[in-house]
Chain A
Amino acid sequence: MKPPPFRYAAPTSVEEVLGLLAANADDDPRVLAGGQSLVPLMNFRLAQPGFLVDLRLVEALTTLRADGDVLVIGAMVRQSAAERSPEVALAAPLLAEALGYVAHPPIRNSGTVGGSLAHADPSAELPAVALALDAQLVAAGPGGTRAIPAAEFFRGPFTTALEPGEILTEVRVPRWEGAGGHAFVEFARTHGNFALVGVAAMIELDEDIVTRASIALSGVASTPVRAVAAERTLAGTSADAATIEAAVNAAADELSPAGDLHGSTETRTDIARSYLRRGIKLALSRAQDRR
């Protein structure tokens, strides 16, 4: 199918974008980033915005830079550009690894980091990564600019803390100090398809002791979730096999993913268990390599 008619503008500044969203508030305005989720929804007529504000000419949204210990990624940075970026590889290797799982290269050539976060698909990779890295999502709106912690940003399936008239402008990813290991692993029925379960894990070691563990899952709830019980189980230990198993079980006990024809609740929980184990082990071995 094809989308129904809509009005369109491609402004060059965030101020103009916000002005257009406010001026057309009665016409269900939406911002267009890479369009890799929105345009299919519009083709199906599941989304029918009356006014589309294309962000592609807003240069302020294309920044990608280190700001002290924080990696700043503009909302319009294309996923493939972030994937290839030396800054991302250095400051947020977890994000770089996860980007390789986002659909396929032709989608990542158009799709944006900010678009994926603002779309908030529960099975998407980047929201889980933002959560695991304690990223701040910066929003600009009529009332000014505010930074929203990832833990408060994702509110439900395709639902975020962004208010009407507000847009996501950048993601601020704090860099981990010390010897940290990262891992992003996921299970999908077909390569490049939406994952049933994804695991984003960061583990920091001091000598052999886990000083910090951060683990988030995608696909198991209406939003990405932190595996807090697993993090607590690992912290302060040497993360031997028994402790990892205990952490995996602690995390899995808190999950109750909705079943559908692609997998029952039990199947998805089992897969989560398996991928938590893989993710934790991979992050741990990388942290050990970097000591």
Chain B
Amino acid sequence: MDKRDITLIVNGSPSMVSVEPRKLLVDVLREDLGLTGTHIGCEHGVCGTCTVLLNDRSVRSCITFAVQADGARIRTVEGLANGADLHPLQDEFWDKQGLQCGYCTPGMLMRACEIIEQNPDPSPEQVREGIASNLCRCTGYQFIVEAVCAAASRMRGDEQRPHQATTPTEAKA
């Protein structure tokens, strides 16, 4: 079957990949680009663990063909930390025990990222409503909501924009 050359700007770095049109974005990220942080769950858009940011908006990468993302900026969980420095969201998920098995975490973090970027001061209710798109079967969500609120508060206090994606070189530096 014919392949198509597409460009994905993943976590700030452009990548050219040759893909079959039927290949899902999540599979290109994981198999072609080796970014296995993004998980595959239900494969029909229900569970949210495959959530990535496409041009700063959360999307389900399991029901998006990679060809649909040609030329787009993609952010994945790998783009959150700056080298060894965890993103405030990651740090607070750790601190507040916002995860147990960790399967939903990459999607949860990226969705939380979008929530905070759209509203730097979300109420716990807004966070709860916002993450309703993502399923977690371990935590009962309480600690996730606490972690997102704590991260938002830290990010406001630091007067920093949410961490922008870095290239691997920058990350090492």
| A joins B in a complex | yes
Tell me the A residues contacting B by CB distance below 8 Å. Answer: 1-8, 10, 32, 35-36, 39-40, 42-44, 52, 54, 56, 80, 103-107, 109-110, 191-192
Q: Which of A1, A54, A105, A106 contacts B67 (CB 8 A)?
A: A54
Q: Is the CB of B64 within 8 A of A44?
A: no
Counting from the closest, the 3 A-B pairs by CB-CB distance are A104-B133, A8-B21, A40-B44
Does B137 lie at the interface of the complex (its beta carbon under 8 Å from any beta carbon of A)?
no
A191 and B134 alpha carbons, distance in the complex (Å): 11
Q: Is the CB of A6 within 8 A of B60?
A: no
Stretch at the interface among B9-17, B51-59, B86-94: B51-59
Q: Taking each of B21, B54, B111, B114, which has the highest tally of chain A beta carbons within 10 Å of its own beta carbon?
A: B21
Give the Cβ gap from B62 to chain A, nearest Cβ, in Å.
7
Q: List which B76-112 residues lie within 8 A (CB) of chain A.
A: 111
Tell me the B residues contacting A by CB distance below 8 Å. Answer: 1-2, 4, 20-22, 24, 27, 43-45, 48, 51, 54, 57-60, 62-65, 67-68, 70, 111, 114, 129-130, 132-133
Q: Is the CB of A2 within 8 A of B51?
A: no
A221 and B80 alpha carbons, distance in the complex (Å): 46
A201 and B93 alpha carbons, distance in the complex (Å): 43
19 contacts between A and B (CB under 8 A): A3-B22, A5-B21, A7-B2, A10-B67, A32-B65, A36-B45, A36-B63, A39-B65, A40-B63, A43-B24, A43-B62, A43-B63, A52-B21, A54-B67, A104-B48, A106-B51, A107-B60, A109-B54, A192-B133
Give the Cβ gap from A48 to chain B, nearest Cβ, in Å.
10
Q: Is the CB of A110 within 8 A of B64?
A: yes
Give the Cβ gap from A183 to chain B, nearest Cβ, in Å.
20
A44 and B24 alpha carbons, distance in the complex (Å): 13
Give the Cβ gap from A105 to chain B, nearest Cβ, in Å.
6
Q: Which of A2, A10, A54, A107 contacts B45 (CB 8 A)?
A: A107
